[in-house]
Amino acid sequence: MPRRKATQEIVEEMRRLRREGMSYGKIAVRFGLSPMTVYNHLQKKGKGRRTRITPEIVEEMADMRRRGLTYEEIAEKLGIAFQTVAKYMREEGLSGRRRKVTREVMERMRELRMAGLPKKEIASRLDLSYNTVLTYLKGEEGLLARLRRRLGLG
């Protein structure tokens, strides 16, 4: 059976589809290639193109992350796999979209709670997760309020 070559345009399209979450198998079917061929093209096996992640590259990634770039944007700009960026950003403590709960945010959270807003609404208004609001406000609740809640009285 003759081997089919993948042009640079096809490889770029395969990369785009893979970034969008398509499996190697589905990409292979789309282009009439074997899944292993697709994998080899996307992983650049045997071509010596893997980027060696140096401390300078890690610092550049961290700087981009601090400026608000997403993993996808960093990976695209540096030509590095998304998973590699995610791994190093976790190690640097720069993963996720966590927002620190500052004293001001905590005070605003208390104000909204005293105004009678539900915790889900507070989370939405402060751009925090529901669990973050729940955790911080739980520590703020008094003993009486916790007892009432457990007894179903409030």
- Predicted pLDDT at 46: 44
Domain ranges of the chain: 8-43, 55-91, 103-140
- Predicted pLDDT at 139: 67
Dihedral sign of CA atoms 27, 32, 35, 38 in order: negative
d(CA 74, CA 128): 24
- Predicted pLDDT at 1: 44
Residue-level pLDDT, tens digit, the chain, 154 residues: 456 677 888 888 998 998 888 888 999 999 998 888 888 888 864 444 566 888 999 999 988 888 877 888 888 888 888 888 888 988 888 876 555 678 888 889 889 988 989 988 998 888 777 888 888 887 666 666 767 777 887 6
Per-residue exposure over 71-85, b if at least 16 CB sit within 10 Å of its own CB, e if not: beebbeebebbeebb
- Predicted pLDDT at 92: 84
In this structure, are residues 38 and 27 in contact, taking their beta carbons and an 8 Å threshold? yes
d(CA 131, CA 140): 14
